[in-house]
Amino acid sequence: MNDFIIQLLVPLAILISFLMVFLSIPVILRVANMKNLFDEPNRRTVHRKRIPTLGGLAIFVGFLFTYSLFVDILSYSLIPFLIPALVVIFGIGIKDDILATAPMVKLSGQIVASVIVVIIGGNMITDFHGFFGLQPNYITSIAISILLMVFIINGFNLIDGVDGLAATIGIITITAFSAWFFINGNYHIPILGAALIGALIAFLYYNVFSKNKKIFMGDTGSLLIGFLISVVAILFCEFSNTANQPNLKFSMNSAPAVAVAILIVPVIDTIRIFFLRISIGKSPFAADKNHIHHRLLALGYNHLQISLIIGIVNVLFIIIGFSLRNIGMLKLLSLIMGLGMIVAYIPSLLLAIKRHESFIRFKRIKKAQNQTSH
């Protein structure tokens, strides 16, 4: 099968995955209504109505069917043990969406899934790309790879706080990774990415734009997105390692830093929120309303606007990362993380200014009322 035909299969994979999810969500909604499977509003949620949370089930089915179909057609070997690990992620996600699951149980499931693809499957980071001249040994590679996977999985789980955000960032990040593989002649990851993109676009229709058939992706969806993107991120770093540089059409000697730029939204929000929680004596896993999207909500933006704003910022970081991909690992990583932290605190700064101005106006009104009463 020539390259041109394989390239045509990428949009076909998007279409099939889209149709699978688009047609399955109405069925899932009927089941959710019959079985009373809803996310109930509480003090931590931003929605005010009972919404079904099984959108992740549709994403899982659409992705798995399409990916399995096209990987078989292309005679590519599967990413070792990807599907068994994916089933583990699906299991802990769907259980949490139907019956509440303890955080440590979810974390244990994420570690098990990561162990499957890292240790058994052999998908791990083996090159630090010149970072302080260090190179990891086998044990270090395993530990860092598992830690990064769990971090990214939780990062996507944490940003799933407003309609459309996790899906939008998922589409942007997997597209960026897939594009790099595509231009370098590797079509496996673009097919995987296409299967995920099609599923997420169909989900976005119901999650953001549908009035009567609204659905959330739940933990099933956010954990699935985070897991798949974490696997691809590791493969991205390995695909651009020192040994493989001569085989690339476009050089890249700072792949891990570029990966951070692509994943800047979950990376920065997770680091920020963990440090904030620890600084006030709370567990880093304790839920709250201090995420970046919560700050934007407090500034008066709606869910769609927030997803678009954060998505545009993500795209800008991706452009910076790819444009400066050869300036050196340490330089690019420092730049991306520094800019990321600055941008992450802009909503908090704007909110503090807004609250200060509101307080000043309140004092002026009270002063005027007191003068009038006298």
Angle between helices 138-159 and 264-279 (to 10 degrees): 90
Q: How far apart are CA 109 and CA 221, in angstroms?
A: 15
Mean pLDDT estimate for the chain: 89
DSSP bridge partners of 52:
38
Give the up-direction half-sphere exposure of residue 2: CA atoms within 13 A in the CB hemisphere: 1
Q: What is the pLDDT of residue 74?
A: 61
Digit-coded pLDDT (tens) for 298-314: 999 999 999 999 999 99
Contact at 8 Å (CB) between 8 and 73? no
Q: What is the mean pLDDT of residues 242-251?
A: 80
pLDDT of residue 252: 85
What is the rounded CA–CA span in Å between residue 274 and residue 155? 11
Beta strands in 182-324 (DSSP E): none
- What is the DSSP secondary-structure string of 336-355? HHHHHHHHHTHHHHHHHHHH
Could you tell me which residues are beta bridge partners of residue 39?
A: 51
Say which residues have a Cβ less than 8 Å from residue 155's Cβ, sequence separation at least 6.
226, 263, 265, 266, 267, 269, 270
Helix (H, G, I), strand (E, B) or coil at 330: helix
Lowest mean pLDDT among 36-50, 83-97, 353-367: 36-50
Q: What is the DSSP letter of 75?
A: T
User: Has residue 195 got a pLDDT over 90?
Assistant: yes
Q: CA nearest 157: which of 112, 118, 101, 211?
A: 101
Domain boundaries, the chain: 7-373
Grade residue 129 by pLDDT with cuts at 50, 70 and 90: confident
Q: How far apart are CA 325 and CA 327, in angstroms?
A: 6
Cβ atoms 160, 221 nearer than 8 A? yes
> Per-residue pLDDT tens for 155-194?
999 999 899 999 999 999 999 999 999 999 888 899 999 9
Of the segments 99-108, 276-285, 299-308, which one has the largest average pLDDT value? 299-308
- The residue among 221 and 363 whose pLDDT is bigger is 221
Instruction: Specify the pTM.
Output: 0.91
**Is the model's pLDDT at 71 over the cut of 90?**
no
Per-residue pLDDT band for 34 (boundaries 50, 70, 90) equals: confident
Tell me how far apart the alpha carbons of residues 54 and 59 are, in angstroms, rounded to a whole number: 9
Specify burial of residue 241 (Cβ count, 10 A radius: 0-12, 13-18, 19+): middle
Rounded average pLDDT over 217-234: 96
Three-class secondary structure of residue 302 per DSSP:
coil
Residues 6+ away with beta carbon under 8 Å from 295: 347, 348, 350, 351
The pLDDT value recorded for residue 37 is 75
Tokens 């009373």 -> residue = 36
| DSSP three-state, residue 52 | strand
User: Which pLDDT score is estimated for 178?
Assistant: 95
Q: Per mean pLDDT, which range of 25-29, 74-78, 329-333 is the poorest?
A: 74-78
Q: Tell me how far apart the alpha carbons of residues 269 and 159 are, in angstroms, rounded to a whole number.
A: 8
